[in-house]
Amino acid sequence: MGFLTYLINGLSLGSVYAIIALGYTMVYGIAKMLNFAHGDVIMIGSYLVFIGMSNIGGEQTGVMQVVKVVVCLAVSMIICAILGMVIEKVAYKPLRKATNLAVLITAIGVSYFLQNIALLIFGSNAVSFTSIISWQGISLAGGALKITGNAIVTIIVCIIIMVALMLFVQHTKPGQAMRAVSEDRDAAVLMGINVNATISLTFIIGSGLAAIAGALLCSSYPALTPYTGSMPGIKAFTAAVFGGIGSIPGALIGGLLLGIIEILAKAYISSQLADAIVFAVLIIVLLVKPTGILGKQIKEKV
């Protein structure tokens, strides 16, 4: 039963990575840049939910608790979405024609900027995030297999987000615009697509999802500091590369695999070495398939 428990915990952590990886992969696919500040938007989102949960409406139970959580999450999502949009407009948009290196350095700068702002406001001591999921979970096989409410909700939320996003990309006009811009920006302009608006929308969606990811992550790992976002950010970026950067299903598969590998490595090999093992697996995958698991590479014929 131990293995099953680890697997479910891995799926749960992987679901969080997958949601974060979506932000990296969509921005990479559409704006062709690595937004290294994405992890820090998660941290900001977590603080926002933390503030909301500890200051609004007092202790609640039952339906009112759910309402409180939804309201706090929604506010955090909106603020993060706006933050993502502003970051893109202020920091990245002026660099649309600059070199990748300049954009990368700017992204790292934005990341430190957000961390320092958080340090100024919240200090460097960890605050203890109370789980947004009060449900204790279920107990199976006569108590031998316990699945936490956090794990179940996290996995379900991840599935809902993935399905919604794929439907959005396939069946709506802004979704089609995103696909076109990711394929060929200039050709997209010729089709009448507003590239700036499309990139902006991508940041809005990715950052909004980061707020959800942050709240779910901190519900399972409650010590929240201004640096909370950076490691999961790097891991989710790894997950995005692992699954095939630019691909939405790739973010899901990469995230889940990464979460499972990490938890299993911690359980069976060594908790100190877990991260090293995760990255070793990534390197092996990339050696075998440089585009990642679902990465596509269609050569245009000339």
Judged by the rule CB under 8 A, the positions of this chain that interact with another protein are 173, 176-177, 179-180, 183-184, 186-195, 296, 298-302
Q: Minimum CB separation from another protein for residue 24, in Å? A: 19
Q: Which is nearer to another protein, 52 or 246 (CB)?
A: 246
Q: Which is nearer to another protein, 59 or 186 (CB)?
A: 186
Q: Minimum CB separation from another protein for residue 292, in Å? A: 15
Q: Minimum CB separation from another protein for residue 34, in Å? A: 21
Q: Minimum CB separation from another protein for residue 298, in Å? A: 4
Q: Which is nearer to another protein, 87 or 193 (CB)?
A: 193
Q: How many degrees, rounded to 5, is the angle at CA 211 between CA 208 and CA 214?
A: 150
Q: Minimum CB separation from another protein for residue 29, in Å? A: 10
Q: Which is nearer to another protein, 105 or 195 (CB)?
A: 195
Q: Which is nearer to another protein, 55 or 173 (CB)?
A: 173
For residue 197 the two structure tokens come to 């608006």
Q: Which is nearer to another protein, 156 or 191 (CB)?
A: 191
Integer angstrom CA distances of residue 226 from 246, 274, 275: 28, 23, 21
Q: Minimum CB separation from another protein for residue 248, in Å? A: 13
Q: Which is nearer to another protein, 171 or 283 (CB)?
A: 171
Query: CA torsion sign, 189 to 194 to 200 to 203?
Result: negative
Q: Minimum CB separation from another protein for residue 297, in Å? A: 10
